[in-house]
Amino acid sequence: MKFLDQCKVYVRSGDGGDGCVSFRREKFIPFGGPDGGDGGRGGDVIVEAVEGLNTLIDYRYQQHFKAARGGHGMGKNRTGADSPTTVLKVPVGTQVFEEDQETLIADLDHLGDTVLLAQGGSGGWGNTKFKSSTNQAPRRYNPGLEGEERWIWLRLKLIADAGLLGMPNAGKSTFLAAVSAAKPKIADYPFTTLIPNLGVVSLGVGASFVLADIPGLIEGAAEGAGVGTRFLGHVERCSVLLHLVDGTQDDVGEAYRVIRAELKAYGGGLAEKPEIVALNKIDAMTDDEIKEKAAALKKACKQTPLRLSGATGKGVPETVQKLFQIVDADKKAQRAAQAEAEMTPEEKAKGWTP
């Protein structure tokens, strides 16, 4: 299935149904009077985050969504039917923007989140509503109100706990394939990965996290070089970033600095996220080369880099364990913050109790 992470969509809610002008005419009932019913309500248009989706490919082939109009009122005081709601189903993690692509309408980062995009028009009144003591045979009715219309942008940011960063051919896809059941494309040429890939890393019962691999970055990516920084949005929600540096290249320190510069140019808080730096591909290096490159990388990143090989698995378990510790601590902090936010003022004043 083709990966699509942003698209432009037109939505329009349904118009309200018109009211009805009608008079009661029945045998043996001399005084009929008005009996025109009201119009039904037009359908709404909403966006809902559902499970089972990981791309916006459905909106590549259909960009226009219009809700149905409400039913018209009828005689015998029959009200027109309300039109059903039109639902745009999107993956969890989808953001909804105005047409300017800057104004955020909603961030659907939890399963079941919904947002109303266009509200249906109200139905018009029938002539029964205009009956009075001085106007016992009104011939007036109200037309239904018009619906709303707008253009929006849908932008997907994958929900992942940890993200992989690095230059092309740094071994990110190999690492993802080694620690999860994901099957990313692996080859010996740059930009093998052109779309983000997700994998579930399991450390045992109740201990797992989602790892995201995005296309490699090169110098000038913020200005559009290579595949640009478009896919960095998919690691914005991550708790920790694993920065892989190819140990077989000449200047590992410069490779690290290039990626960090692109993260700062992109923004989004990526440069401030917890980061684990690892020297990759040590299986293709001698012990002296490993020591030399590790020292150069430590000088650039101001921390002792991990040493691993995604191809042979050396150092991979230790790296995965460190990632999980940060992810688990972040999840616990989020749950504690959410629990505190849901506490009533009386509970906060009383303090925590087991």
The residue among 337 and 320 whose pLDDT is bigger is 320
The residue among 313 and 267 whose pLDDT is bigger is 313
What is the reported pLDDT for 326?
92
Indicate the domain borders of the chain: 1-156, 162-338
1 pLDDT band, cuts 50/70/90, is: very low
User: Using an 8 Å Cβ cutoff, are 85 and 42 in contact?
Assistant: no
Read off φ and ψ for residue 94, nearest 5 degrees.
-80, 135
Q: Which residues of 234-264 are buried (b: 16+ CB within 10 A; e: fewer)?
A: bbbbbbbbbbbbbbbeeebbebbebbbbbbe
Give the CATH number of domain 162-338: 3.40.50.300
Residue 150: enclosing H or E segment and its boundaries?
A: strand 149-156
Q: What is the pTM of this model?
A: 0.77
Inform me whether the pLDDT recorded for 170 exceeds 50: yes
Inform me whether the pLDDT recorded for 337 exceeds 90: no
Question: Check: CATH 2.70.210.12 for 1-156?
Answer: yes
Inform me whether the pLDDT recorded for 210 exceeds 50: yes
Distance CA 163, CA 236 (A): 9
Q: Would you state the torsion angle of the CA atoms of residues 280, 281, 286, 289, taken in this order, to the nearest 10 degrees?
A: -40
Residues 6+ apart with CB under 8 A from 250: none
Distance of CA 83 to the CA centre of its chain: 28
Residues 6+ apart with CB under 8 A from 146: 15, 16, 121
What is the reported pLDDT for 88?
95
DSSP 78: B
Mean pLDDT, the chain, rounded, equals 87
Neighbours of 68 (CB within 10 A): 19
Token pair in block for residue 90: 């999107």
Q: What is the mean pLDDT of residues 200-227?
A: 77
pLDDT in tens, 215-235: 877 776 666 665 556 678 888
Read off φ and ψ for residue 293, nearest 5 degrees.
-70, -35
Q: What is the mean pLDDT of residues 120-130?
A: 94
What is the reported pLDDT for 353?
53
Among 182-196, 197-211, 289-303, 336-350, which range has the highest average pLDDT?
289-303
Lowest mean pLDDT across 144-158, 210-224, 277-291:
210-224
